[in-house]
Structure 1
Amino acid sequence: MYVTEEQNPRLPYLRDKTSKLTLSPGCYIMKNAQGKIIYIGKAKSLRKRVTSYFRKSADHLPKVARMVCCVNDYDFIVTDSEFEALVLECSLIKQYKPKYNILLKDDKGYSYIRVTNEDFPRISGELQKQDDGAEYIGPYTSSFAVRQAVDEANRVFRLPTCKKKFPQEFCKERPCLNFHIKQCMGVCRGKISKEEYRSVIDEAIDYIRGGSGHSIEKLTAQMEKAAEELDFELAARLRDRIRAIEKAAESQKIIDEHIKDCDCIAIVANSENACASVIKYRGGRLYDKADFFLEQTDEPTAMLTGFLMQYYSASEDIPAHILLADGIDEQESEDITRFLRDKTQHAVYISVPQKGSLLRLTTLAKANASEYLSIRMGRTGREAQALDELAKALGMEKVPKIIECYDISNLASSDMVAGMVVFEDGRPLKKHYRRFAIKNVDGQNDYASMQEVLKRRFENYFKGEDECFKTLPDLIFLDGGKGHVNTVTPVIRKMGIDVPVYGLVKDSRHRTRAVATGGGEISLTKARSAFNLVTAIQDEVHRYSVAFMTKRHKKASFASALTRVNGIGPKKAAKLMGEFKTTEKLKAATLEEIKRTAGVNEQTAQELKRIIDEM
């Protein structure tokens, strides 16, 4: 988007001021007419970076264009290095929370793991922290992670999950099924002391906090000591506990066993919003998950860099390994790594996995971010992923929100018609479907027919009378190959419509094969979600246009049958069909209604009624 001097009269002043800026690194602080800070950024060269906002004919993202329209003036702070600029930017954003910077908004509540304060404590998950004397572990941003950790700890350490009170209900009933299937240690039998039970609870808490690797090491040492002291019963219980931990870890471990602690981070964005997902692994197992809604979108690497700095500057839990679904600038990666190492005083590594189990982890983080964004935007994760894949395959800068698709249908060169279907956010928008009867093309000419349809569609856009034509699509598909694209594109470009146009190519079995450009084809075989979406769009437009063609053909055949009656010509037949619309309504019409509509006598009306009833 371009920003003109009519939109921001201060642009000449801002350009003149920027021409005198230093080439040194630093931070720039944009302000509106009221002097309020609306955006803070960093730059390796202040003059070059700030100039990019105010130069003539600068093509900005929508968010940046809105910000530039509001800039009245700016300040700047020169730093000695890019690293200092990065740290300063993060600090200033945290302090001022500017409107046009990416702000982390985690609208979830926090969850806790609760350990009751009683002789035989219980472990449970809670949504709120109460002042009840219990021990609370957390907070966690993911209630799922809390439930998983609690269920796992209770199962591995065979803790009671019933509602019995101990020691008040010792030996009052026989042990329940959980004891017999070795899901509970059977505290209700009264054979386990407070001290022994407390020891197990401590181990369970240690497992929750430290993960499976730490617990196995500790329990293995205890088992070996028990065996040396010939306490084989205790050693056997510890051995079973170790096996249970290993089994639990195996069932949900999707991470390289040599990496105990890591965060997997991905950001998914559409044209207006973005979401970041952080999946935490500690001790070889999923520990927590956090999703953040980012109200302002920016260039992808800038978003990811800003998120990393804001997220970790406010966190004390920084692992040794940070895995990213997408890459960032090498220099910025080094600066962020240095910042995190200085903050934590331990080694930190940032990487972008390209294969194997670590790639599956970042893919999982991206799927989580996509799902969270789709929920916020009213879409499913599958729809969001399909649109994202489609945009990347076609080389589009933003994900298409509105997609229109056109198909020409005819029966033996007669009844040439076209159908237009509309998909919004990956879903059919049926109230905006439209049908076209071809008016200015003689014979069977798909190219000329498609030209006519697209021309009429955008003539209606300029008129602004029909609600479905008022919005420009982000993407146009034509049911056909590169010939259709090359025929239609010049027509709509001449009308001033700058919307990407692609063809949908079918194979010999009439199934979607590829997307056609003006000079070749783009395969979607590696983008399965996008391929399925395009197939659904092509099938829908074909169904819609064929249904219209069939309806017109039946109507024309019916009208032709009416002209067999003496005194009924094409005009009177068309008048009857125009009045009653459908054959069903015409059959339901009374003799008097037929007589009055066609303007015929009693005898002709009776003959018409007979023909209509027989059809």
Structure 2
Amino acid sequence: KVLPSSPGVYVIFDEKEIPIYVGKASNLSNRVRSHFAKSTDFSKSRVIRERGYKIEVHVTSTENEALLLEYNMIQELQPSLNSQYTDGKTYPYLEVTTGEQWPRFLKTREKNNPNSIYLGPYSDVGSMQRSLRYVLKLFPVADCHKEIHLGDADDWAKTCIRRRTKQCMRPCELEIDDNEYRENVDQVINFMEGKLPDILNDVEKKMREASAIEEFEKAAKYRDVMKSINRTMQKQSVFVDDVDNMYVVVQEENKFEIGLSLQKIIDGRIIRREVAVMPKNSEGSFQDFVIQYLIAMLNLNVTNNVKSEDKIKKIILVTDNFKEIKDVLITFDYDIVQKENDAEEQIIKMAKNHIKSHLQRRLLIKKDKELPTKRVEDLREMLGFDLPPLIIDTFDVSTLMGRNNVGSCVRFVNGKPLKKGYRKFKITSVDQQDDFASMYEIVFRRYKDVNDGFDKKGLPIPDLIVIDGGREQLNRGLLALGDNNLKIPIIGLAKREEEIYFSDIEEPMNEDNNRGGMLLLRACRDEAHRFAVTYQRSLRQKEGLVSILDEIDGIGPKRRKLLIRKYKTVNAIAKESSETLSENFGLSKKLSSKVIDACRKFTISN
């Protein structure tokens, strides 16, 4: 049959009239025929040639209309060859069963309950689950998989861990205040939507009210919740003035993949980050990938061209195919713009760094399928990071009464030492003991040659920097990063109490020393200390060797230079025999014995 040359959508069915592929085209005739050309050897086209039995064509007025119709039909028909874009296999929602007496929070991929509200969708399922686990500790409402009734604790809820450990308000077991439960549900929703200032104001008001009527136990509980919310806000991205409420969409790529980052900014704070990745060898176009992703993430209703109900209409778009993507989003009443000021440029830079880090981690995971280890994952949870800190650099300073001041940096990748990431430094900026100035110098020198996220040896910047020390050492490390125009998460680990210091949180954090994340931090710190002490000892040995050889008559400048070049340290000569020394360097047996005895005495005394 003759196919039209106009834009439209085509559906390919198999012999049982099951749809196997939905596609769009600016020219239906050319596009459909391309699947059946002998020169086409793509796996998708090969399956279409082998299984395709019937073709159904839908003509549209424009390419944009074809794109939206294609998306609709993919969601409705769920064809097997379009699995990359099928909502049901990609982006989950968080369902809040508000139609029930005791609303629950459930992860779902279907929006089919008219009595529930849905948050999301979320492209990063792990991040959504971690956020939910955290907020349910602050506001302990239910996340059961069944509707709750009083008395269920004696039935299916008998084995519920949250009920047994009293981490839930337990409406299945106790008669609880309905209003209080609903207020907690609202706070969880606010948290998941990034409305932390609203939660903070509400909890502070309740704390003052409880205090006024002398319910001090309840007031203390609200105070603890406020501390947790404040810490969460401080861990979020930097607050940026002079930006509108908006979305920022940026694109980055590496050798194998193209990444897309969508960030939602409310009141100058990034409250939501989502990412998506497309392999470069994918058959689909990047333009279609971006548009399909944005339709899903922005929750757009494409049926009958319904306008978006989103209150945020501004989108900064930094991608390829800018005009084509812009034209589609305009049909949903969005205002598509490019950066307008320095503040927006800062947001764009943060978004690009975010997707770069995501792509970098994906490369690491491809090389090592065991990523991340349990300790790395526990450290991520302990520090409240969105992503696991796979690459950790740890710094330490070592000195002996102000002499031979040295520093070290050791690198751990996925919880294991990476020797090629080790660096040692001879402190040059101070000639006496000053741990603070020394820490600044070694952190500054380590990253001074970083360009576009990589050092001069091709190693990426770390996900986390650990400073051996407390508040002041941490501040010097932070200053060194700032002077290199770098922003990398950095903490201090103080030896005495094993306290963790944050750059933006006043109070240090104490954790169980046997916790996986703490064990990893201590292993990094101890390895940095060992590496620094070993380097300092080698310098002391070399310095001692020069001094010893200078004091022995019969050792001239030429032989002294040869001995230092060969042995480097006092220890190395102390282990040598006088016969070998005589034979290799032309020394008399008596002189060789004198050199070795002097080195052995130095070794014992030190």
- The TM-score range, normalised by the shorter chain, is 0.3 to 0.5
State which structure, 1 or 2, has the greater radius of gyration over its C-alpha atoms: 1
TM-score normalised to structure 2 length: 0.40
TM-score normalised to structure 1 length: 0.40
